[in-house]
Structure 1
Amino acid sequence: MSVRVSLVAAARSSSLLAERFDDDRPLDQAGWHEVQLAAQALVPLGAAELRYCSPTARSRATGEALGYAPMAQPALRDCDMGRWRGLTLSDVAAREPAAVDAWLADPRSAPHGGEPLFAFITRIGGWLDTRPACEGSIVAVAEPAVVRAALVYALGAPPSTYWNVDVRPLSTITLTGLPGRWSLRLEAGPR
């Protein structure tokens, strides 16, 4: 028996350049508009037996706007960025360039005082591996970082792969399998 887990990246709450670490802002106007445009393709995922979201405002709002009525899962929270919370990458790079370099180079480092990348990926993988092992489907709306971490974990890729995965708002990945044994499933596009 395998389970199908579809992960939907939350709609945006700011422009890409204005994104802040561990930010909990609600959807912005562009985010709401993008949800409306993507709804036709994403609403059917709401037929899943289990519907979750990360506890952030934008993930909850995205799930609600798509009609999922998701249950917030604390395990799907974004990476704890410690003292960098609320800052942009540019802000931190200007203040602590050596710390940013260390953080990007070593997945076990946490120069910000928060959660190391390795621990974040492991936490998200733990959530995946504790999903009910039944024939059925799950949908979860989460921060793009959470979707990236889930993909890295499911594929058994090195943690450094995380930096090479680009997850755009409202993009979707589907994982199928059992705890500890996941496969990426790519859906056929429109014909």
Structure 2
Amino acid sequence: MNVRLKLLAAARSSSLLETRFDDDRPLDAAGWHEAERAAPVLCRLAAAELRYCSPSARCRETGDVLGLAPLAQPALRDCDMGRWRGRTLGEVTAAEPQAVDVWLADPGSAPHGGESLLAFVTRIGGWLDTRPAYEGAGLLAVAEPGVVRAALLYALQAPPHSYWRIDVQPLSVTTLIRRSGKWSLRLEG
């Protein structure tokens, strides 16, 4: 049996605009408005037989605004950024420029004391691989953009540096399909 999983990127919040690491801020007013405006198009996602979300406030609220009633999954949390949590890239770069360089160059490093990129992608991949097979409407997960990027990296078996080259927009939908134990990306128009 196949697995069809739609990944819905959470609506935006001020932390997305400020590039804050691993920040659990709720949707801002603009994010609420964008989600409400998108609801007539995205309401079709409620047909999914199982609906999940990252445990962040932003993801839970996106699911609520869209009427999806998703179940929070701790394994879908964003990358653990350790002591960099809640700080902007600019703040961290000013305070620890060499650590940022190491972090960007080596996907196995975690100079912030949290989770390495490789560990994060492996965690998300483990969650993907344990999804039950459902024909029909499939599965849905409302997730942070970083989680969507990690899922794509894992599914496509792309090299780790590709993570930095994937741009996930708020409220975008990505479809992954697992057939015979292998994942593929489906682009829908």
TM over 0.5: yes
Which segments of 5 or more consecutive residues in structure 2 lack a partner in the other structure? none
Q: Which moved more, 1:34-43 or 1:123-132?
A: 34-43
Q: Structure 1: which 5+ residue stretches go unaligned?
A: none
Percent identity over paired residues = 72
Q: Report 1:160-175 matches (<5 A).
A: 160-175=161-176
4+ residue runs over 3 A deviation: none
Match of 1:157 in 2: 158
Superposed, 1:63-74 pairs within 5 Å as 63-74=63-74
- Name the amino acid aligned to 1:27: L
Instruction: Tell me the SS of whatever aligns to 2:78.
Output: coil
Give 1:22-61 correspondences, 5 Å limit.
22-61=22-61
The two structures have a TM-score, normalised by structure 1, of 0.95
Q: Quote the offset at 1:37 in angstroms.
A: 1.9
Match in the other structure for 1:2: 2
Following superposition, the deviation at residue 110 of structure 1 comes to 0.2
Q: CA RMSD in A?
A: 1.2
Q: Hey, what's the Cα distance between the residues in 1 that align with 2:10 and 2:51?
A: 14
- Count of residue correspondences: 188
The secondary structure found in structure 1 opposite 2:14 is: coil
Whole-angstrom CA distance in 1 between matches of 2:180 and 2:14: 34
1:184 partner amino acid: L
Q: TM-score, normalised by structure 2?
A: 0.96
Q: Deviation at 1:134?
A: 3.2
Distance 1:8 1:75 in 2: 16
String of CA shifts for 1:104-129, please: whole Å, max 9, x gaps.
00000000000000000010011000
- Asked if 1 retains the 8 angstrom alpha-carbon contact of 2:4 and 2:134, the reply is no
Q: Shift of residue 180 of structure 1?
A: 4.1
